[in-house]
Amino acid sequence: NAGVTQTPKFQVLKTGQSMTLQCAQDMNHNSMYWYRQDPGMGLRLIYYSASEGTTDKGEVPNGYNVSRLNKREFSLRLESAAPSQTSVYFCASSERGDNQPQHFGDGTRLSIL
Amino acid sequence: SQKIEQNSEALNIQEGKTATLTCNYTNYSPAYLQWYRQDPGRGPVFLLLIRENEKEKRKERLKVTFDTTLKQSLFHITASQPADSATYLCALPSNQAGTALIFGKGTTLSVSS
C-alpha cells in the first residue's frame, strides 16, 4: 500500500553539490511528474514523463535533469545545487490519459546553503 | 499562458458552516478541473474532478461546480468539521499536454469548534 515513495525525506546540501532525488510508484502508472513547492508560489511542474521512455520539460526545468529509469522509477537530479533550488520537491504519478488524478508522495525537503 | 487564482490565502469558519472556496482561471476553458487537499508536511491528495460539460459534482459533504462562462470553479464543504482544516488546491491541464497540470496557490481553510 505504499503508493508513491520519495527518498530522502530531508537533505541539506552545499552550493555546487550534486544530488539525485528518487521516486518510485507501485500503482503501475504510466505517467510520472516532478514538482517543486515554494511559499507563495504554489506547486510548479519541473519535468514530467507521460510514459516510459519519454520526458518533457515543465514550467521550471532549468538546473534539473530527470531520468525515467523504468515504469516504476523517475529520478530528479540537481547537477550543481544553488540556494534558489531550496524547496520541497514532490513526485506524482497518474494513469495514462487526460483527466486522470495524480497521486503524490510526501515530498523531499531540500535546503541548499 | 493559463493562470489560476484561488480567491484567498486563508478562510476561517466555524464548525457546522459551509466553506466555499473559489478557483478562477484566466485563459482557455479547460477540459476538466481537479481539486486536491494538502495537509502540512504531506503531499496533495486528490478529491474531485469535474469535466467542462458537468455543472456540478458531489462526493459526500463535498460539492464542486464549474462555470465556463465565468471561468470559475467553486468548491463547497458542507457541515464543516475541524478535521476539514487543510489547504485546498485547484488544478487544471496545462497547455502543454493533457496529463500535465498547473496548480493554484491554494486556500488554507481553518475550521474552529
H or E, element range at A15: none
Contact yes or no for A90 and B100 at CB 8 A: no
pLDDT at residue B98, as a whole number: 64
CA count, 13 A, side-chain hemisphere, B77: 26
B30 touches chain A (CB under 8 A): no
Question: What DSSP letter does each residue of B23-84 carry, written as one string?
Answer: EEE-SSPPSEEEEEEE-TTS--EEEEEEETT-SEEEETTEEEEEETTTTEEEEEESS--GGG
Distance CA B26, CA A110 (A): 32
Nearest chain A CA: its distance from B71 CA (Å):
18
Residue B9: which pLDDT band, with cuts at 50, 70 and 90? confident
Q: Where are the beta strands (DSSP E) in chain A?
A: 4-7, 10-13, 19-25, 31-38, 42-49, 56-57, 64-68, 74-78, 87-94, 103-104, 108-112
CA–CA separation, A64 and A66 (whole Å): 7
Contact: A106, B42; criterion CB under 8 Å? yes
Q: Is A32 helix (H, G, I), strand (E, B) or coil?
A: strand
How confident is the model over B37-50, as a mean pLDDT?
A: 96
Percent of the residues in chain B that have a pLDDT greater than 90, as a whole number: 73
The predicted structure's pLDDT at residue B84: 98
Cell of A107: 515530498
Cα separation, A75 vs A64, in Å, equals 10
- Residue B65 CA to residue B20 CA, distance in Å, equals 11
pLDDT (tens digit per residue) in A18-58: 999 999 999 999 999 999 999 888 899 999 998 888 999 99
Q: Is the pLDDT of residue A1 over 80?
A: no
Q: Which cell numbers hold the place of A80? A: 550543481
* pLDDT (mean) for A4-20: 97
CB contact under 8 A, B46 and A102: yes
- Give B104's contacts (C-beta < 8 A, 6+ positions apart): A42, B4, B5, B6, B23, B89, B90, B91
pLDDT on residue B37: 98
The model's confidence at residue B27, banded by pLDDT at 50, 70 and 90, is confident
Q: Per-residue pLDDT tens for B64-94?
A: 999 989 999 999 999 999 999 999 999 998 8
